[in-house]
Amino acid sequence: MADIEQILNGDRGDVARLAADAAQVPDFDSLARRGRGRRTRRQAGALAVAALAVAGIVGVVQVFGNGDGDVRPGPAETPSQTPSQTPTEATDGPGQAELAAVVDSDATRMLAMAVTPGDPERMAVLWQWEDQRWVLAWTVDGFATRSLRAVPSGSSLTPAADGAFVLREGWEGAVLRLIDGDGLSDPVAVSEKVEPVGAGEVPVVLAPEAGGTQVIAVAADGTGHPIPVRAGLDSIQAFGNRLAGFAYGDGVTYHWSDDGGATWQDADPGPGEYPPLVVQSAIGQDHAIIEGGDGATLFPFVAIRTASAAAPEQWTRTEAEKVGDHVTIGGAWNEDGEIRVLASRWNDKDRLVDAGVWRVVGGSLEKVASNPPEITDHPDVAPFAFEYVDGPVVWVLGNKTGEVWRTTDGGATWERFAAR
């Protein structure tokens, strides 16, 4: 009988060397696009929150409005396609059967979604089949009927006013279009005038560039303009009319604007184990950031930093309580003053202990019972989209491809919706 030491120590390293020789090297540019897309999707997802918030409170003119009370944008001036009455509408590009096969496949995956605030029947979803093939599916009737269209990889979605959506085409996002029940518009006409987000406008984040990130406010009439954004600001996101982002230099500086970019404030949360995760907090709510270690993959719960809305320069750091296991965070939001997270708890043998919705109490987590529990009580639980309509609305992917669930009560109950 052979000795295990002989087996393990014989030709040490040969397995790795020969496996390396046999490895197929992928195209780096493709990987880089995937990475950039993920970064962009994170930002787009966060900005979708802002968009939903803006669109959801278009009457609150003191925030983004001009005070005249008439916040409904006029009709779109740009031409749009004529919709068909068939369950799956015809568009140009690849054939509808081909697009439908992509969207309806169990092997496809959802990349992003946007919902009209308070009207989940109006939904737009980006689906991916393989790396370069993205399909946009949108509906105005809960996917009883739908429209399909091939879109460039890297595209993103933002809810706009009047039940429309903004499609940012491709990684660079040089072209923005409006989508509604009539189809896709011509490219949004973006002026050069820089001004804050106005009434009925939604902020759309473009891809980060060397000098910072550009954000375009888009109106439902197909026009847009840049908004003021501090140079070097990255990871821009928004929620409940608050724009927030980080600048990375020697440390991390947190920036936010509660007036559509007209003015920005900043604060240094202090040294910690970053990158940070912003707890989605609406205008007027306290600020909170979760530290996530090196952020290499799963986001560990290291510590939480909070600052009151009244004194945002004074931050308090609370380390995560060590209870013999570790926690990975999928996302966090402010639920009526209480911080809630979607998170998984693992033991020291890397076995899942528990997962789902939790409230953060000091540095510890208290489980929030969810119904049905299987929607959130699994190791990959994470927010798929946020919405703000008189409070946070959180969306997650279902356990079956093609369904999404939302909660409007902080994760206690979840409601299913079709996504294709």
Partner 1 sequence: MDGPHDRLADDPIRRCFDVSYRRLVGQLYGVCGSLTEAEEAVAEAFARAVAARRTFERVDEPEAWLRTVAVNVARTRHRRRLMGDRLHRRNGGPTDERLPDLTDDRLTLVAALRSLPQQQREALALHYLADLPVADVAETLGVPVGTVKARLSRGRTALAAVLGTEATVNGGSRG
The residue ranges that bind partner 1 (CB under 8 A) are 1-5, 7-9, 11-26, 28, 31-32, 34-36, 38-39, 42, 234, 248, 275, 294-298, 349-350, 352, 378-380
Cβ proximity to partner 1, 39 vs 317, nearer residue: 39
For 291, residues 6+ apart whose C-beta sits below 8 A from its C-beta are: 272, 273, 274, 276, 277, 302, 303, 304, 305
Task: Name the minimum Å distance from CB 166 to partner 1.
Answer: 23
Cβ proximity to partner 1, 234 vs 319, nearer residue: 234
Closest Cα partner for 364 from 309, 394, 319? 319
The residue count of the chain comes to 420
Cβ proximity to partner 1, 210 vs 310, nearer residue: 210
Considering just the CA atoms, what is the radius of gyration of the chain in Å?
A: 22
Strands 403-407 and 287-291: unpaired
Cβ proximity to partner 1, 62 vs 297, nearer residue: 297
Task: Name the minimum Å distance from CB 203 to partner 1.
Answer: 21
Cβ proximity to partner 1, 34 vs 317, nearer residue: 34
| DSSP-assigned letter for residue 373 | G
CA dist 111 and 125 (Å) reads 8
CA dist 356 and 304 (Å) reads 19
For 270, residues 6+ apart whose C-beta sits below 8 A from its C-beta are: 251, 305, 315, 317
SS3 8: helix
CA dist 316 and 193 (Å) reads 39
Cβ proximity to partner 1, 156 vs 241, nearer residue: 156
SS3 352: strand
* DSSP bridge pairs for 185: 80
Q: What is the DSSP string of 242-267?
A: EEEEEEESSSEEEEEESSTTSS-EEE
Cβ proximity to partner 1, 262 vs 323, nearer residue: 323
CA dist 43 and 78 (Å) reads 27
Task: Name the minimum Å distance from CB 231 to partner 1.
Answer: 16
Task: Name the minimum Å distance from CB 10 to partner 1.
Answer: 9
Task: Name the minimum Å distance from CB 219 to partner 1.
Answer: 31
Task: Name the minimum Å distance from CB 255 to partner 1.
Answer: 16
Question: How is residue 151 written in tokens?
Answer: 């879109």
Cβ proximity to partner 1, 144 vs 352, nearer residue: 352
Task: Name the minimum Å distance from CB 207 to partner 1.
Answer: 12
Closest Cα partner for 249 from 225, 266, 263? 266
Task: Name the minimum Å distance from CB 170 to partner 1.
Answer: 16
